[in-house]
């Protein structure tokens, strides 16, 4: 990998299993899924009535004015950024804002605003739509809001690659820092899809688990009885920083974002390429860019959604890219705990990957009482596994066939 | 405008614009004191039209600088508005 080294110096996870690095880590180790009956709207007439929802602590909730002029997705992003900045010990008031960028991934943008606007249009006509409709629903609103809120005027952009958006944001941020375009980037993803519009949309695709009576048991990546993913809201922001910038301000690097690989399936708008060959290539490219051999990967944070097709294709990809290592490298699927937060997921899981490096422990995949024998991976289950972790592969695969593999290492 | 209608207007604006009702004093200036922008003024106008059934032109809307002026305008518009000019709810 050419250019400046890129370190992770702060973590801001905002997830159903925990808000803040400490709570998120503890929630992962507890290994219990946070999926629950939907409370954000009345889902009683929907075929899917469960989701992962975030309970923001009082101090991270948006102020009244902020709540009125931004969508839920931006509230989650703002909370994640706040946590990440605190964790990194980076004070926006004293930072050179011109050298700080923001990149966020999102699959759906402001879905509540979008939905409310469409309803208003139908009910009241063109003048029924509020003046805030566009600025609250547009996909780039969250990244722009963070820039405005903190005075960060370096490169500010948004990656809209569905379930790989969060990982793509980290790649974009890496490129900004490696090339010298920015010294620090707030990078991550945010998603707030727990609306009747989005839950119905995904349910109509038959993509979601309908295990409404057992929410905690619904997200079951790599299980023999997996039957779809569980939609989730959430956000995660990581502070990425050039190694020299971190050193100069005395910041402690938690990990290095060492490499990445990206490919496209060029196959189907939502179904993964069954042989996982393009996803495998993303992993291979990521390893090469990190300068690592497959055997040097000590843990895989899988995309692991719990759909029949994703998990099978991902297992095939790992076998193809890692060879015999795929049989014994410990794998975990964070989505078994959080549900699938789409454009936030890649960033949420990058946080989880960093934490495995820091704590030298791989959290379990929940609900894996009966692993699918066709998967053929060592998926950690039932309890956390203490293990030596020096390099983690984190996968994100998306509707649209976007494959993004990240490699994170000890600093 | 009577005090009930006035309070209702304050509540609607506070809700739509994300302000504390106490901030919406008659002489608080929208831009300078409350930090509102042109989008807020459009929201304000929509709220007026929806809640009060009084049509407001953009020219009038953009000339409003405080709640006191809004109340005065509403009273003036109401005095001249014909029922046919009321927007559909």
User: pLDDT tens, A206-237?
Assistant: 999 999 999 999 999 999 999 999 999 999 99
- Measured over the CA atoms of residue B62, residue B66, residue B69 and residue B73, the dihedral's sign is positive
The residues of B whose Cβ lies within 8 A of any Cβ of A are 15-20, 35, 39-40, 42-43, 46, 49-50, 87-89
| pLDDT recorded at residue A332 | 98
pLDDT at A313 over 60: yes
Distance of CA A360 to the CA centre of its chain: 21
Is residue B25 one of the residues assigned to a domain? Answer: yes
Q: At B1, is the pLDDT very low, low, confident or very high (cuts 50, 70, 90)?
A: low
For residue B79, the cross-strand partners are none
Percent of chain A with pLDDT over 70: 100
| pLDDT recorded at residue A49 | 98
pLDDT at B89 over 60: no
| pLDDT recorded at residue B82 | 53
**Which of the following is catalytic: B15, B37, B58, B75?**
B37
The per-residue pLDDT of chain A, averaged, comes to 97
Task: Please give the model's pTM, rounded to 2 decimal places.
Answer: 0.95
Residue B67 domain boundaries: 3-78
**Weakest mean pLDDT among A128-132, A257-261, A279-283:** A128-132
Is residue B86 one of the residues assigned to a domain? Answer: no
For residue A259, the cross-strand partners are A407
Task: Give the DSSP H or E segment for A316.
Answer: helix A308-322
Distance from CA of A65 to the nearest CA of B (A): 4
Cβ-defined contact of A132 to B39 (cutoff 8 Å) = yes
End-to-end CA distance of chain A: 15
Q: Please, what is the Cα angle at A255 between A233 and A285, to 5 degrees?
A: 80
List the one residue out of A224, A257, A225 whose CA is nearest residue A239: A257
User: pLDDT tens, A69-86?
Assistant: 999 999 999 999 999 999
Q: Please, are residues A102 and A146 in contact by the beta-carbon 8 Å criterion?
A: yes
User: pLDDT tens, A89-133?
Assistant: 999 999 999 999 999 999 999 999 999 999 999 999 998 898 999
Measured distance CA(A391)–CA(A372) in Å, rounded:
26
Is residue B38 one of the residues assigned to a domain? Answer: yes
| pLDDT recorded at residue A300 | 98
Is residue B21 one of the residues assigned to a domain? Answer: yes
Measured distance CA(A165)–CA(A185) in Å, rounded:
16
Indicate if A108 belongs to the active site.
Answer: no
> ipTM for the complex?
0.80
Is residue B85 one of the residues assigned to a domain? Answer: no
Cβ-defined contact of B19 to A64 (cutoff 8 Å) = yes
Q: What is the CATH number of the domain that holds B33?
A: 1.10.1200.10
Burial class (CB in 10 A: 0-12, 13-18, 19+), A53: buried
Q: How many structural domains is chain B composed of?
A: 1
Rg (CA), chain B: 12
Domains of chain A: 6-248 (3.40.47.10), 259-406 (3.40.47.10)
């Amino acid at each position: 990998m050419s250019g400046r080294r890129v370190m992770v110096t702060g973590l801001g996870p905002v997830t159903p299993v925990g808000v803040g690095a400490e709570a998120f880590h503890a929630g992962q180790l507890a290994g219990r899924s946070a999926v629950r009956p939907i409370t954000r709207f009345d889902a009683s007439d929907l075929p899917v009535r469960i989701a992962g929802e975030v309970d923001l602590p009082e101090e991270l909730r948006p102020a009244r004015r902020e709540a009125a002029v931004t969508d839920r997705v931006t509230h989650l992003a703002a909370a994640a950024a706040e946590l990440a900045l605190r964790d990194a010990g980076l004070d926006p008031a004293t930072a050179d804002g011109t050298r700080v960028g923001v990149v966020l991934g999102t699959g759906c943008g402001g879905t509540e605003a979008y939905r409310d606007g469409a309803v208003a249009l139908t009910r009241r006509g063109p003048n029924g739509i509020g003046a805030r409709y566009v600025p609250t629903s547009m996909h780039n609103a969250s990244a722009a809001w963070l820039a405005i809120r903190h005075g960060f005027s370096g490169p500010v952009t948004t990656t809209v690659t569905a379930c790989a958006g969060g990982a793509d944001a980290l790649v974009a941020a890496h490129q900004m820092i490696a090339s010298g375009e920015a010294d620090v980037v707030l990078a991550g993803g945010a998603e707030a899809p727990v609306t009747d519009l989005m839950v119905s949309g995904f349910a109509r695709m038959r993509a979601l688990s309908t295990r409404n009576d057992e929410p905690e048991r619904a997200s079951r990546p790599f299980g023999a009885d997996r039957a779809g993913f569980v939609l989730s809201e959430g956000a995660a922001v990581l502070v990425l920083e050039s190694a020299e910038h971190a050193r100069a301000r005395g910041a402690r690097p938690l990990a290095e974002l060492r490499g990445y690989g990206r490919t496209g399936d060029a196959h189907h708008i939502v179904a993964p390429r069954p042989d996982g060959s393009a996803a495998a290539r993303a992993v291979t490219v990521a390893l090469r860019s990190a300068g690592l051999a497959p055997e040097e990967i000590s843990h895989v944070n899988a995309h692991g959604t719990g759909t029949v097709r994703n998990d099978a294709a991902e297992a095939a990809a790992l076998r193809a890219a890692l060879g015999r290592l795929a049989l014994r490298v410990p794998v975990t699927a964070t989505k078994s705990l959080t549900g699938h937060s789409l454009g936030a997921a890649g960033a949420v899981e990058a946080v989880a990957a960093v934490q495995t490096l820091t704590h030298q422990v791989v959290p379990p995949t929940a609900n894996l009482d009966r692993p699918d024998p066709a998967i053929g991976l060592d998926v950690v289950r039932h309890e956390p596994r203490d293990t030596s972790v020096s390099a983690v592969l984190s996968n994100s695969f998306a509707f649209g066939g976007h494959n993004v593999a990240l490699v994170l290492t000890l600093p | 405008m009577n005090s009930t209608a006035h309070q209702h207007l304050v509540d609607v604006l506070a809700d739509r614009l994300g302000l504390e009702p106490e901030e919406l004093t008659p002489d608080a200036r929208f831009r300078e004191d409350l930090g509102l922008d042109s989008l807020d003024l459009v929201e304000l106008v929509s709220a007026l039209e929806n809640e009060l059934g009084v049509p407001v032109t953009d020219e009038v809307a953009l000339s409003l600088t405080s709640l006191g002026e809004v109340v005065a305008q509403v009273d003036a518009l109401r005095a001249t508005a014909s029922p046919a000019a009321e927007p559909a709810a």
